[in-house]
Chains A and B, each alone.
Chain A
């Protein structure tokens, strides 16, 4: 089974900061990786799929990239609405685990 290792677990940041979250796969997943944002009491919201394709309606300050089996979610300038928990998930095959999550909190 493919494992995903997401880091860091927590980020304490300020509005306007650049935020980078990493997700490392245990083997090749052929760019089949998605990023979600989740706020308390809400279902996850899809931000990015296919490693770097921005879901329609998602602000352009969010971007995804990949280098081999390492994937990165970047928020170019953090906005107040972006304080949330972020998860990666691969969909190369089954099972389709999520990463452990990264909570972006106010510094």
Chain B
């Protein structure tokens, strides 16, 4: 069975950085792109980009370029989303998903940015 298990909730101060992890199991990690989607409280879904776990290539929505990094560690089948220079509008639940459209999603990680 396919599982995507994300790291736990985080509370960060404005200007800080945060890293969210997504550990997969049940399939070949390098065989599918991993996408990241976020959802601010009470708002819609926002697609952020993807990482190709096979070679580390990434594609980010323009608004996140320079502030967001997507990486992976193939030895432990885990992808990472790092956001820097956090602002209050980064408060959101962050999801990883195996390719899109997908039935395989992580459970979501709440990142709260608050002073």
Contacts and interface: CB of A to CB of B under 8 A. Distances in A.
B11 interface: no
B53 interface: no
Contact of A44 (B49, B59, B105): B105
Interface stretch (A12-20, A66-74, A92-100): A92-100
B2 interface: no
Chain A binding site: helix, strand, loop or mixed by DSSP? Answer: loop
Interface in B70-115: 95, 97, 100-103, 105-108
A79 B47 CA distance: 29
Given A87-B44, A96-B47, A100-B44, A43 B106 contact: yes
Interface size bracket, B side: 20 to 34
A59 B61 CA distance: 34
Contacts of B44: 87, 98-101
Interface string B35-56: 1010000001111010000000
A94 B35 CA distance: 12
A91 interface: yes
B110 to A, nearest CB: 10
A46 interface: yes
A98 B43 CA distance: 12
B103 A95 contact: no
Contacts of B108: 43
19 contacts: A34-B100, A43-B97, A43-B105, A43-B108, A44-B37, A44-B95, A45-B103, A46-B102, A46-B103, A55-B103, A89-B47, A89-B101, A91-B100, A91-B101, A95-B47, A95-B61, A97-B46, A98-B46, A98-B47
List the 8 closest A-B pairs by CB distance, nearest first: A34-B101, A43-B105, A98-B45, A101-B44, A49-B101, A46-B103, A96-B47, A95-B61
